[in-house]
Structure 1
Amino acid sequence: MLGFIVRHLLRLIYRVELRGREHYDAAGPRTLILYNPGSIIDPLLLAAMLPDRITLLADRALEHKWWMRPVCALTDTQFFDFASPAATVSLVHALARNGRCMVFHSGSLGNDPRYTRILEAAGVIAEKASASLLPVRIDGAISSMFSYSRHKGRRRWFPRITVSVLEVQKFSPVEGLPPRERRRRMGERLYDIMTELEYRSGMDRRNIMQVLMDAVALSGRRFPIAEDQDRHVLTYGALLLKLSVLGRAFRRLFRGEKRVGFLLPTSLPGLVAFFGLHSAGFVPAMLNFTSGISAVLSCCSTVQLSFVLTSRRFLAMADLTAMEQALKDAGLRLVYLEDVAKNLTLSDKLFGALGAWMRSAPSTPGTDPAAVMFTSGTEGVPKAVFLSHVNITSNRYQALSMLTVGAGDKLFNCLPMFHAFGLGICTLLPVLAGVRVFLYPSPLHYRIVPRLFYESQSTIICGTDTFCAGYARYGRPYDFCHARLVIIGAEKMRESTRSVWLEKFGVDLFEGYGATETSPLIAVNTPAYRRAGSVGRMVPGLACRLHPVPGIDEENTGVLWVKGDNVMLGYMRSAAPGVLEPPVDEDLAAAFAEGATSDDGAGWYDTGDIVHVDDEGFIFIRGRAKRFAKIGGEMVSLAAVEEALREIWPEAVLGVVSIPDPRKGEQLALVIDTEDVTTSRIAAHFASRGLSPLWTPKRIVSVKQAPLLGSGKFDYRKAKELVLEKG
């Protein structure tokens, strides 16, 4: 009777709906129920909505909580100390005796050591009792007044709640390991299931403007979402108003266009302009103003741009007047934010204010492009990477399912918005998730960034090894006293950088791995699970395959291919402007055509990195299959550098290799069979061509005879040995 009353009250108040009843009926007699914890009413929801009376295995710390009384009335509740090994036997007996059990603790899914211990205990229970695992996804409860994160943002009184029973999972035992290691491995497996469940429960396939409107409704218009170095604060309400008004002006200025070039720094105006373009239905093409004039012009041509949105103040401060003139000479129309602000009409302001008040968002499909990023491949010219709304939002949920980040945090973003990490993780993730963000235009100011991080009381920062080493060199010991999470990506993290951060700031660094084509996160180490020398474990919702590499016989090693919601829509190349090439594995496609496989190869992306994946899923990068170098986090094509050098010495035999650099991760070295070659001459030529200074080789080795293979091709391995021998 009590269950009947509670069930109908929940349906009345929260409009609770049960889905996937057939999966519950298909579960065996011994089933361990797993769910994505988000609120203290989770066990009440499951007890009331599931057909049978379940046994609740609860943390002893909850025994005297008042809100546990109705839960105990609806379930057969048993309290245990999950940290006690003796409790495991009792838990196994309870599962074997009662059939359907659920483990409950007071805490959200995250990197809490107590939570990982509970997962380990649950894994032992499932294995010892030969139980199946039944995942249950609860949507909506985390937004209620009973949410675990209720103190971090505004909650809803009566959100709609859905309880979805997913397919039964079989839990295979872990053999041949010591008991302690087996316990840890089983907890790790359950953690993977829970993060996958967390990702699937949060995944949103709408466009980013619709997701932004939800964030505003949840956190409130007065929530201070963004701040800059001038201490200007942008609330959600101000962001909505400004983007709506700008969107009206953009709609008039860029009428008939699909994409608009975006040449702005990481700043409050840049943030507003990005969302303003989306509110007007345009796709921002994020131009890398550090890549050189020729690269920017190539990018504009590749995606067929007619307009570039920029700022006079920014162009002057960044000394980009030559690029400004080159864009104009190429026939592109530059639109300056200062002029847009001055020429706003009364209609723009009135209808923009109305749209902000109504929280109106365009109905753009989530599968449409949301941003165009640019990268360089081995052919030496920029490629356009088209990322969809789903790509960006999925990567946000993938990151948040593994990393505990909430509205109580503040993310310090000094990475450029033209970089996938700077845009997807450091800008859009916090703004769409209700996490405050501090915007600063350059990561290269090693003396200023640490001071601003301290003054802004930020808790999270992302960057490259080069940047973090610079911050450690000039930062004061207390500058990062508020730091809770520091993530390193784009280049290999040196152990010396991690050691100095631990010694000077008392802060640990976590290495991750990504690519522009994956929006960008692929893998990351977390406080709960990390492995020295690795880039972490794969994010949920992302499948991987390893293509074998001739000459490499190491087990579970090969070129990494990935497929998932965060993998790009495709490339657009300079050789075929306007033509989108979706990612595909040609080998799988050929096998599918012959009927040898059920996978047609569509959606698979080749990362170009040779990796090793250990038994626990940690990824170790062994090398790069493609010829490029990452200098200070920026990708540099060795083939493109060689082509530019041949313009100076067309008759010479030359080759460019990358060698380790103690500060920037890698540096370029030139091996050439010509004398009187100097870096100053190369730098002057590159500057005249509008090429990036990063392309200039820092080491030059002149030889009488260039190293060649038997086939007549340049021997890069021998060239690298020559450079290293010269010291």
Structure 2
Amino acid sequence: MKFLAKLLFKLFYRVEVRGLENYHAARQSERPILLIANHVSLLDGPLIDLFIPGRTTFMIDSRQIVGLRKWLLKLADYVAVDMLNAMATKHLIKALKAGKQCMIFPEGRITTTGSLMKVYDGTAMVAEKTGAIVVPIHIEGAQFSKFSYLDGTRAAWVRQRWFPKIVLTVLPPKEIAAPADLNGHQKHRYLQNKLFLLMRDNAFYARYQPRSLFAQLVHAADFYDGKGICLNDINQAQMSRKKLIIASKVLGHALEKEIAGQKRVGVLLPNVSGLVATFFALQAYGHTPAMLNFTAGAGPMCSACRTAEVETVVTSRKFVDAMALHAVVDELAKVVRIIFLEDVREQIGGLSKVLGVLRSDSSVPGFYAEPDDEAVVLFTSGSEGAPKGVVLSHANILANIEQVSAMLQMLPHETVFNALPTFHSFGLTAGLLWPLLKGARCFLYPSPLHYQVIPEMAYQVNARYMFGTDTFFTGYARKAHPMDFYNIAAFVAGAERLRPETRQLYADKFGKPIYEGYGVTETSPVLAVNIPQSHKSGTVGQFIPGVEYRLEPVPGIAEGGRLWVKGPNVMKGYLFNDNPGVLVPPKDGWHDTGDIVKVDEEGFVTILGRAKRFAKIAGEMVSLTAVENYINKHSPEGHHAVVSVPDPKRGEQLVLVTDDETLSKQTIKEAARKAGVAEIMIPKTVILVEQVPILGTGKTNYPEVQKIAERHFNGN
């Protein structure tokens, strides 16, 4: 009977099993084996019973033995228990100690959200008490079957199919045990967190398949709905994945006549569908897009082109006219060749379009690019110095997409509203490529600064996810109607610290949480993020799967350390303007973030400040970020930036630049007194400005703030 069932599963579901060597390694340990897996459909138990070696005993909630499940269980060994009974696991413990191979779904139920549900600590307690070795299994594909619970009647909905391809991935065996000094609630909490992280990480390791970005787009069109709309913009220029692939082949072929032999090509375009077609057109023909920051000005853009050895920049006359960038483009034209998309489109005739349709997706050179080849060049914002080129590989970006997917589940029909510019890594990876390459939809908006329009647009397109900075989210909240964000599942904030006042504002006005995350351009960019299943206010969440970290002590700073990270999402390397075109990789794969952080016992990360954003006053190290924090609490409506200038007596002194006219040296002293901070954390000078400078990415422009402070003391 089992042989026939296995044959039918292989025939209809094309079941593939990966990593069986990990199971056999566990068998070699001669310890009891406890299988665990994510629970996505009614097929999960039979799949494990049929395709994982050995005779498996399942622990099943007695209330779930009904209907089809009751019939399927006749083919398996199982222990029926009352999952609400604290003693439910004793039967499984007995079976494991008797040498049986046992299996538990740690979520205790089939997912109704498409993502990992609540993970119970009972599984970890069983493993610890029996000394069993845990063999994790990840089930992928069954969530799209007719036997999943994602039919819209319980919670989430996906387009279900009778026979989707199913992949079982067996991950390396793990031991789960708590430190000996923990007991009671602390022990349960520790084991629950450890098991949750294991289940979460399994999703990344099982799904991550390095390939080129163009090949991943083709895969997404085949695996998800290739003909459904996946891209829309303010001009209502809608595209499906199939149409995007064809447009990329046609436009790429036309551009190739102009840029053949060039490694990197500049892209100077806003968030519109044409940008995406241009990005993938370059990918299709093996060129690396160098994303230029059009808010930076002519000087930085020319410098960026020289640093990356860019010979040609692709832009649009309509965009140049709309943004009044004529002078900037004229300056750029002195160092690079400018190609306007309008001119390229005029050269594309009907025959070219037909050939683009007929040409195989796998016939373009970019399809076979190596995963470790460079995929994009971004430029650091220059918030603390001269911009550098950051080279990210195809593998870097795809790894980060899967790392994010393991943290935040996005269903194929859901929409990400992206107003963050794609010259910023947050806007490119999370805002654009994540939804496009994972089967969802992306709505592109050209500027994050349209505070009144963006909430209305999010309402109109039924946005499910939005990314932004604290500055942007504060602006949206001031203008938005309480219903504008009714469909939002998650706001995700990054790039700068999320103020508690902003988080509270969204809870009060919209009844929605903001999940704070953290990343840097050099890590593609996400490094950590809070998620519904695991979050802690005041932190940026736990590190994403696959990231190693270390903290190096910083003289004068007692708490935390300087964060170094390593992982598949860490860049290929830098391009410096004093040595154009030469890639400088991170030593031994470790990247110095330059951030001072602390990590608690559960792995939650708290950002204490930039290493460069500390002042040394009378021999003491003072965090400029910490000073801003208590001032923000006193004046949540204002925008405040604290910098330091030389002081002949104390080494340095603090200067506050603010747009809040109610602040003065006296009110700052009062705020410091209420916050209970030391006297050395009180700015000696307050400078009132009409607007505190910000970058196009939403971060405070500290070099410009520094200049304001220096001009004040120089009398200019």
Whether these two folds match at TM > 0.5 is: yes
The partner residue of 1:410 within 412, 415, 420 is 415
Describe the shift of the 1:445–1:177 C-alpha distance in structure 2 as closer, same or farther (beyond 3 A): same
1:288 aligns with 2:297: no
Contact 2:377 2:389 in 1 (8 A): yes
The one-letter amino acid of 1:75's match is A
1:75 aligns with 2:76: yes
Report the Cα distance in structure 2 between the residues aligned to 1:153 and 1:413, rounded to whole angstroms: 22
Partner of 2:122: 121
C-alpha distance in structure 1 between counterparts of 2:657 and 2:57, whole Å: 58
**Does 142-151 or 603-612 show the bigger shift?**
142-151
Deviation for aligned residue 1:175: 4.2
Native 8 Å contact 1:610 1:624 kept in 2: yes
- How far off its partner does 1:322 sit? 1.4
Report how far residue 172 of structure 1 moved: 1.5
Contact 1:154 1:219 in 2 (8 A): no
Q: Are 2:363 and 1:354 equivalent residues in the alignment?
A: no
Report the Cα offset of residue 508 of structure 1: 0.7
Please tell me the root mean square deviation across aligned C-alpha atoms, in Å.
3.5
The CA deviation at 1:131 is: 2.3
The offset of 1:83, in angstroms, is: 4.1
In 1, Cα distance between equivalents of 2:76 and 2:469: 50
Partner of 1:488: 493
**1:554-605 CA distances to partner (integer Å, 9 max, x unpaired)?**
3xx2111111110000001001001100001xxxxxxxxxxxxxxxxx1110
Q: Residues 583-634 of structure 1: CA distance to partner in whole angstroms, max 9, x if unpaired?
A: 01xxxxxxxxxxxxxxxxx1110000011011100001112113599999xx
CA shift at 1:523, angstroms?
0.2
Which residue pairs with 1:594 in the alignment? none
- Deviations, residues 489-508 of structure 1 (Å, cap 9, x unaligned): 01111111011100000001
Of the three residues 549, 553, 560, the one matched with 2:554 is 549
**Structure 2 CA distance for aligned equivalents of residues 659 and 202 of structure 1:** 47
Q: In the alignment, which residue of structure 1 is the partner of 2:580?
A: 577
Write the letter of the residue equivalent to 2:596.
I
Tell me which residue corresponds to 2:682. none
1:345-494 equivalence runs, <5 A? 345-355=349-359, 362-376=367-381, 380-494=385-499
Structure 2 residue matching 1:546: 3-state secondary structure: strand
Q: Which residue of 2 aligns with 1:624?
A: 610
Give me the identity figure in percent.
35
Correspondence list, 1:38-437, <5 A: 38-70=40-72, 72-97=73-98, 99-104=100-105, 105-108=108-111, 115-116=117-118, 118-138=119-139, 140-142=141-143, 146=147, 161-177=166-182, 179-330=184-335, 332-355=336-359, 362-376=367-381, 380-437=385-442
**What letter matches 1:296 in structure 2?**
M
- Structure 1, residues 497-537: CA drift from partner, whole Å, max 9, x if none? 01110000000111000000000000001111111211100
In structure 1, the residue matched to 2:522 is 517
Contact kept in structure 1, 2:34 and 2:135, CA below 8 Å = yes
Task: Give the alignment partner of residue 510 of structure 2, picking from 505, 508, 512.
Answer: 505
Does structure 1 residue 695 correspond to structure 2 residue 694? no
CA contact (8 A) 1:28 1:132 kept: no
Question: Which of 18, 22, 25 is equivalent to 2:24?
Answer: 22
Please give the alpha-carbon distance, in whole angstroms, between the structure 1 residues aligned to 2:83 and 2:485: 35
**Amino acid corresponding to residue 564 of structure 1 in structure 2:** G
SS in 2 for 1:486: strand
| Structure 2 CA distance for aligned equivalents of residues 370 and 656 of structure 1 | 44
Shift of residue 231, structure 1, vs aligned partner = 3.2
The 2-side partners of 1:465 and 1:284 are apart by: 28
Instruction: Assess if the C-alpha contact under 8 Å between 1:15 and 1:160 holds in 2.
Output: yes
Structure 1 contact 411–438 (Cα < 8 Å) conserved: yes
Q: Is the 8 A contact 1:250 1:280 kept in 2?
A: no
Residue number in structure 2 paired with 1:565: 568
2:670 aligns with none
Q: For 1:583 and 1:460, how far apart are their aligned partners in 2? A: 33
CA displacement, residues 403-456 of structure 1 (integer Å, 9 cap, x when unaligned): 121113211100000000000111000000011111101111110011111111
- How many angstroms does 1:237 deviate by? 2.6
Secondary structure in 2 aligned to 1:362? helix
- Distance in structure 1 (CA, Å) of the matches to 2:10 and 2:565: 41
Residue of 585, 601, 605 corresponding to 1:615: 601
TM-score (norm 1): 0.82
Paired with 1:133 and 1:509, the residues of 2 have a C-alpha distance of 35
**Alignment check: 8 A CA contact 2:294 2:301 kept:** yes
Q: Give TM-score, length-normalised by structure 2.
A: 0.83
Number of aligned residues: 649
2 CA distance for matches of 1:702 and 1:234?
50
Query: What is the rounded CA distance, in whole Å, between the counterparts of 2:297 and 2:702 in structure 1?
Result: 8
1:245 CA drift (Å): 1.1
State the shift of 1:5 in Å.
2.6
Q: For residue 229 of structure 1, report the CA deviation from its aligned partner.
A: 2.3
Q: How far apart are the structure 2 equivalents of 1:58 and 1:27?
A: 26
CA distance in 1, matches of 2:709, 2:213: 48
Q: Is the 8 A contact 1:416 1:422 kept in 2?
A: yes
- Tell me, what secondary structure is at the counterpart of 1:382? coil
SS at match of 1:553: strand
Instruction: Give, as a single letter, the amino acid of the residue that structure 2 aligns with 1:129.
Output: T
Opposite residue 353 of structure 2, the aligned amino acid is K
Structure 1 residue 228 displacement after superposition: 1.6
**CA distance in 2: counterparts of 1:461 and 1:140, whole angstroms:** 26
- Aligned CA distance change for structure 1 residues 111 and 59 (closer, same or farther; 3 Å): farther
Tell me by how many angstroms 1:216 deviates: 0.7
Query: Bigger CA drift: 392-401 or 242-251?
Result: 242-251
Q: Which amino acid aligns with 1:275?
A: F
Provide the rounded CA distance (Å) in 2 between the counterparts of 1:657 and 1:208. Answer: 46
- Answer whether contact 2:658 2:689 (CA < 8 A) is retained: no
Q: Distance in 2 between matches of 1:702 and 1:364?
A: 50
Counterpart-to-counterpart distance in 2, 1:224 and 1:606: 40
| Matched residue type, 1:695 | E
Question: Quick check: 1:3 aligned with 2:21?
Answer: no
Contact map agreement 2:200 2:407 (CA 8 A) in 1: yes
